[in-house]
Structure 1
Amino acid sequence: MASTLQMYRSMSKLPQGKRLFSIAFSQKAPYFASIHLRVDEMRPHFAQLTLPKRRSVQNHIGTVHAIAVCNGLEAAMGLLAEATTPAGHRWLPKGMEVSYLAKSDSDLVCTAETSEADWSAAPDVPVTVRATRRDGTVVVEGTIHLWVTPTR
């Protein structure tokens, strides 16, 4: 079976390919479908997606709900992990620390980033995550900790 990264690379070359990949990725972990994410970029050590501000993800004050933002950040981390985890290894999120810095009153761009040095510290791999508004304001930032181990 093709890896998630291989699927992204081949599908993103097609017309509407990123949209179709986003739908397929959301079905891999059905809870991700609840935020209607759009995958913008996926490569080793980096992933980016857009979380649209829709009524279904808003809270009582009309901003994107904090848990929806965390869902977007976890989805970005998952894309990064799928693209970066070495062959013969598996990953599992083991914790998330986030700070809420500003109101999420627009579509959000969720990013996840690591470095080679982060992965050399395996099995505990920290992934830096960030959500920004359209105007560039960081609304949430934090770290998701992965546990990366051999599959055998």
Structure 2
Amino acid sequence: MSSNVLTLYRRITRWPLGHWLFARALCLKAPYFATIGPHFIALEPGRCVVRIRDRRRVHNHIGTVHAIALCNLAELSAGVMTDATIPPAMRWIPRGMAVEYLARAIGTMHATATPEAPAVEAASGYAWPVRVSVRNDAGEEVFRARIDMWVSPRSAR
């Protein structure tokens, strides 16, 4: 069970600047994610860790990391983890997200996405919830999301 994104990650991150190149490749495919400047720390089936640095372009008017930047980080980490985890014959799309803002988001943010249940290969689509925890450099959880992914068989083209 290995997706194209996981294969690319494993291959490209062995190179110098490989983590940066991987993030740029994903941002070419889905350009909006470039707005947060993601850096992938780890990717394996069932787990994805993405970091964003604290800089002005992700701030809100009070100087903390903007709520939507945190949502963007959560969706990116959940989507890439989902792609790396589900069987190759399946595809996914987010259908909903519930979020909790737990503390002021100051500094570098580290998102960890994990599934609530094992991935399966099914004849029809199913909801697959993914949990994302976002922590600051001190390890304090500042944001939490539950993203409902819709996983379904790839259609023949």
Select which of 123, 133, 137 maps to 1:134.
137
Residue matched to 1:106: 107
Task: String of CA shifts for 1:95-139, please: whole Å, max 9, x gaps.
Answer: 000100000110100110015x34349611010111100001101
Q: Which residue of 2 aligns with 1:32?
A: 33
Summarize deviations over 1:43-62 as a string: whole Å, max 9, x none. Answer: 11100010111101100110
Gaps of at least 5 residues in structure 1 are none
**Equivalences, count:** 150
Aligned to 1:78: 79
SS of structure 2 residue aligned to 1:119: coil
Alignment-mate amino acid for residue 119 of structure 1: A
- Give the AA of the match of 2:109: L
AA partner of residue 149 (structure 2): L
Q: Distance in 2 between the 1:83 and 1:8 partners?
A: 10
- How far off is 1:142 after superposition? 2.1
Q: 1:58 maps to what in 2?
A: 59
Contact 1:118 1:126 in 2 (8 A): no
Alignment partner, residue 6 of structure 1:
7
- 1:125 to 2:128 alignment: yes
C-alpha distance in 1 between matches for 2:118 and 2:107: 31
Contact 2:96-2:148 at 8 Å conserved across structures: yes
What residue is the counterpart of 1:44 in the other structure?
A: 45
Whole-Å Cα distance in 2 between the matches of residues 88 and 53 of structure 1?
38
Q: 1: CA distance between counterparts of 2:32 and 2:76?
A: 10
Q: Secondary structure at the match of 1:87?
A: coil
Contact 1:42–1:48, Cα closer than 8 Å, also in 2: yes
Structure 2 counterpart SS, 1:141: strand
The alignment yields a C-alpha RMSD, in angstroms, of: 1.5
TM-score by length of 2: 0.91
Sequence identity percentage: 39
Contact 1:127 1:146 in 2 (8 A): yes
Letter in 2 for 1:63: T
What is the CA deviation profile of residues 13-66 of structure 1, one whole-angstrom value per residue up to 9, with x for unaligned ones?
111111111111122110000000101111111000101111011001100000
Q: Point out where structure 2 has 5 or more consecutive residues left out of the alignment.
A: none
